[in-house]
Structures are given as structure tokens and as C-alpha cells.
Amino acid sequence: MDVLRLEKLLSNAANPSYSKALEQLHVLSIRAQEIDYKITEGERGNWTHYYYCHHDGARLHFDWSCPKQHVCPVCSKTWTGEPFDAAWVTLAHSQLGIGMKHLALSCLIDDDIEASGKVKAVLLDYAKYYANYEIHGDIPYNGPGKLFAQTLDEAHWIIDICYAYRFVERMLTDEEKQLIHSGLLLPCAEFLIEYKEKQLHNHAVLITSAIAMLGFLLEDEAIHLAGLKGEYGLLDQIDRGVLADGMWYEGAFQYHFYGYHSLLQYAILVEHTEWDLKAHPTLKKMFDFPLGYILPDGTLPNLNDASHTANIQRLAPYYEIALDWYGDTRYGELLRLAYGLDKTNEEQKDSGESNWQQIWKIPSDAPADRDSLEALWFGEELDNGQHVKASTAHVAGTGDRSLTQILMSDTTSDASGLTKLVNRKGWHLLVKHSKFSGEHDHMDRLGLSFGAGSVPLFIDPGTTAYGVPAHYGWFKHTYSHNTVSINGKDQPPADGKRLQYHKEDWGSWIESAVDWNDSPYTVKDSIILPKEMCPWDDQAYDGVSLRRVNIVTEHLLLDMVKMTVPDERTIDLLYHLSGELADNSLWQSSDAELSELGEHWLQDKWSKQLVAGQHLEWKMREGVLQQVSWCSSPVQLITARTVDNPPNRSRQTLVQRVSGSREREVLFINAFSYDNEMDRQQGQISGHLKLNVGTKSAGSLLLELTAAAVELSFTLDWKGEQAVLEQVK
């Protein structure tokens, strides 16, 4: 560890402000000392995504004393045999690696040479056996492992081992260092180099970070550069894999931070050396970008293969590093929010926003304790919401706004292809007009995710663990998203685009587009897509164009979709609601075939014909969502019960189907208005949401809406390359 970083670590460890972090480290180090696992010559791990219950998607309970019995904490079923036993082995070694990192750091702080003996013994045991472990693994689309079943897991584990070694290095004899170098670090480096991925990918970031760390510790420049330089090396991943606005190209915030974590592990290890990366402009952009997309409830949207919700509490360790390195006051604001240090929002009151509903609330497990390793290594004082360093940069496109203002404000980026629209009630809409993002993409261009505060209305649920059938069977497909499917098929790769965004005095709106016209998508030549990861139907979408205009006002969301098809196709506009239809008495049971995915994913189907101005009411988890609909062509409405995330829950899916599309152009218009329980208790409900669609001069449409006793009218001319939308005063 760098001398300056060591000084700060020891200083923070002695500072009462970080007592919880030090206590947590000691708890973790005691657990590590108590691990009684004998490393042998026959270790052989398997994929941890197999360590999940197939019934409800819950991760199985790991128990050191039960390597052959694996209990689901939700349904209590005990799973035995493979692949669960070998997945347990992977978890055991992963925890052993992390545990040795914690124990070694604790020994460094406490100068505890005796306790470091456990770390030394584990490192020497690995050095005795590691080189002879058999290369194995058949995980889809991944390289093999030695101790583990994939190259990625090998990289994860060795990064922790690298830190464990670094922290106790001065307590080792020269002979012990040599044994660890030759028996563990070097053979692992050689293995990772052999199976380094030749594509832009989050796995490649982890693997190249690990190689570079091993080269640095071994003082072997050739190994170091094998990880750092060259095509698909770590620097190339940063330069080409991170978009211009700072988002990792794979399009999920969870994968953005997943890859960034390993990059930061390397950057921390080489801090204040000739290899220091802090001045690389992309690193700060990667901290900045997510701030604009934090929703009013403190979470980030789930997109693509996001298997858990990221919130500001989970982000806090990253921004401990960011605040130390760059001093941006917004990072301090995020930490204060995460740790519950802002008791009142004085800035909001001072800026005349006292009538703005206080949407911000930490939904669970919060406020977070300031107990991370990063707080010990990097923590800065957060008193009074100030930081001693001057802010060196601002979040792109946010000007001088505070983080709290950013949470409640629109953010749009053409580079990442994401637009967040927010109103004063805390409603938030995310529009996905992104570029195709490779293996982790869900083929859902122009998909929507709509919520109110922490209440999901119709959202992108991300996915579950990859070993759970619903992942590949449902979540990774177009039909599970709030977008359009042609002939029930998946959308082929294509790059979406933002055509325009406007902030008006009555709200804000965006127009987005995607075309399937044989144009190559941006990352086509930089990624590897196995045949099994290409389930789309090029023929179904050939020549299809999709345009979407979304408006968010104080009282409603307006969703307008224009589909252009070259010949007869079946068009399905999809909404997946986190609630249920309040009244289906006029609906009839249906056996309509909806998607090629299999009808077992779409249960309990009901249908009826759409009438102009059709009004539906949905009972949500909290409150009521109203919907009114109109279409330029005859529409069959179909509802179905579909899987939610986690998979032991369900949603109600609404399909607006135009069968045969005799017209080459079809226009759907849907308006939504939400009342929460507080609105209804206070009598502040929207009333009956109404929509009337007529024609204006020169063929433009006149849209007349009524919501919450407020009447709004717009004209829409959608004949040109961009929509022309104007409010009628």
C-alpha cells in the first residue's frame, strides 16, 4: 500500500468518526480467523448462479458446516448434489479470499503479526496446490477456470488474494514470498493471460485488472502490460468500453459499477506510482454519470441484466473513493444522504420549493452505517455537508445544481441513450433509446420504466440470477418489457436514438426512435455474440420503424407510439403493470398466442376490443393507476399474468395488439395518471382520466386530456422526421 494511503488508513482507524468501519473490519477479520476449511489438491468449483432456488429465485443459504445440503431461505427446500455442491466450493473459496483480505488489513492496522499467521498459511496452501488444479468449466459464453469454473471468478478471487498478500507482505520471509510468487501469483497470471477475453466486456475489465495487479506485485512489467496495454487490455476497455458520457456500454448501472470496482482495485494498488490512473478523465466521468439517473427514491433504474437494485447506500463505498480523489461536493451530498446525515432539506426550502412533496425516503436498510473498508481507506469528514477540497468538476449537463436537485430533475444523454423525466410529485419515467449493448442486452429499444417515488407502476424489472429459468426464458426477451414486439418476436440489435428533448413550462417531453434497416450497430465489431445469444428474428423486423413521444406533466404521463411496417405484421404494444386490473367483468377468457417464448410465461389471459377513449383502472401496490387509450387501427386488448422479479411474484401484462396491420402506419396513444394513498385520503384524486383524439388542420392530431380537474390540449404533427408537439393554450 502506498505510504500516503497507509497514513490516511491509520489516521482514520484512530478517528472516532470511523469507529463503525473499524468495528466492522474487526468483526469480519474474526469471522475469517474462524474459517476452518482445508485447501486440498482436488478443489473444483462451479458457477455461483447455480446456487439459487429454482422455485422462487432466492439465493440458497451458504453454511460452512453443510457443504452437501443447500437450503432455500424462502421456501425451505433443501437442494442436494450437483451443480449445488460445486457451486458451494466456489462460494467457499470466494469467502476465503475476501476473508483473508479483511484479516490481513486488520493485521496491518493493529500490527498483529500473530494473527497474520492465518493469512500466511492460506496463501502458502494455495501456493502448494494451485498450479496443478485442472482447467475446467462449461459455463455459457465464458472462459474456463482452474480453482473456479470460469475465468471471471478466478479474477475475482485473485484480486482479493492480491490485497491479502500486499497487506501482510512485510510480515513474510523471502522464502515465503518466493513460494507464493512461484506457486500462486505467477501461475494465476499466466492462466488469466491465456484466457483473456478478446472483446469489450465487463469480464474483460475484471480479468485485465487482475493481470495488471499480479504484474505489479510480481514486479514483472511484461505481465503488468499484458493486463494494461494492447487491444482489449484494461486501458482499451476504458477508452472504448466507456461511452462519451461516462456510462459503461453494456447499459446496466449494476454492470457499470461491477466492472468499475475491479478497475478501482487496480487503481488503488498503483496509486501514487508511475501507473497511477486517477488523472485519467474517464474515471471521474464514471463517478459522475450515474448521479443524474438516481431516481427520487434513491435507487438507480434496473436495466438489461441487472439482478439487484442499486441504491445510494450500495453506492456509498464508491463515492468514499470519489470524494477523496476528486473532491466534488456532490459526492459528499450522496454520502450524507446514504448515511442519513441530512435531517432536513433546507436548500429545498430556501429555493422556494417548500410545496414540492418530499419524495426522498430511504426505502429499506437505511440509513447505511459508515462501515465500509473504503471509508477507512478514503473517508473525508462530512460535517455540515461541506468538504475541504474545492469541487473540480460538475456532473455533465447538470450545471451547478445540488445532488438533491438532480434527483428531482430531468437528465438526458444521447451517448448512453437514457432519458429520465421527473415531475414535482416524484413520478419518474426512464426512456431507453440506447445503442445495442451486447450479451447483457434485453432487446428492448425504446422501453419505458415508470414509477412514483418508490412505487413501481410499469417498470423494467432487470433480471434474476442467471441459473434461474426465468432469466433466459423470460427476462432477456423483448416481450417482458414495456416496448413493442413484432409478430411476438425479439427485436434484433439496433441502435436507438434521441430525436429531441424539451423542457416546457407545463412539463417535459422526449421523442426517441429506432429503425431496423440493416445498419450496423455501434459495438458489432467489438463484441462476441454466440449463436445461442441471438434469439431475434431479423425477417420480422426488416424495414420496421418505431417512434415514441413521451410527455410527463404534473398530472399525467402521455405515451405516443408510431409504428411503420413495410407489409402485414402483428404489432404488440406491451405494458407490464405491478398491480392488477380493478375490473375485468367485461373481459372474456382468451387463449390467444402472444409470444414465441411459450405460453407458460403468460397465464390467465383475458381479452376485449379497444374502444376509443378506453378507460382502465389498475390497483397498484399503493394507490391507483388510471389509463386511457386510443389507436388509429382496431386493437385487441389482452391481459396475462406474467412473472415478476423475484420470480415468485407476478405482474399483470397488458398487450395492445394490432393484428395484420393492414395500414402501413399505426399510432397508439396512452395516457396515465397515478393517485397514491395519501392523495386519496386527502381527497386530492385525479378524477376520471379522459382522452379525446381528433384531427386538426393539415392532418395533425388534436389531443384533449382531462386529469385532476386540469384540462390539457396538444397538437401533434408526426409526418416529418421529427414530431411537432405544441400545447393548445
Looking at residue 387, its pLDDT comes to 46
Q: Which residues contact 117 (CB under 8 A, 6 or more apart)?
A: none
- How much is the pTM? 0.92
Looking at residue 697, its pLDDT comes to 78
Quick: pLDDT tens for 546-560. Answer: 999 999 999 999 999
The strand pairing partners of 637, in sequence order, are 608, 656
Looking at residue 139, its pLDDT comes to 86
User: What is the C-alpha to C-alpha distance for residues 213 and 70, in angstroms, rounded to an integer?
Assistant: 34
3-state secondary structure (DSSP) of residue 75: coil
User: What is the C-alpha to C-alpha distance for residues 577 and 617, in angstroms, rounded to an integer?
Assistant: 11
The residue assigned the cell 482514520 is 12
**Low-confidence residues of the chain: pLDDT under 50:** 344-360, 362-364, 387-397
User: What is the C-alpha to C-alpha distance for residues 373 and 437, in angstroms, rounded to an integer?
Assistant: 32
Q: Which of 115, 208, 209, 207 is nearest to 167 (CA)?
A: 115
| CA dihedral of 697, 700, 706, 708, whole degrees rounded to 10 | -120
Quick: pLDDT tens for 474-519. Answer: 999 999 999 999 999 999 999 999 999 999 999 999 999 999 998 8
Domains of the chain: 21-289 (1.50.10.100), 411-611+631-666 (2.70.98.70)
User: What is the C-alpha to C-alpha distance for residues 488 and 658, in angstroms, rounded to an integer?
Assistant: 12
CA distances from 477 to 460, 480, 533 (A): 12, 6, 11
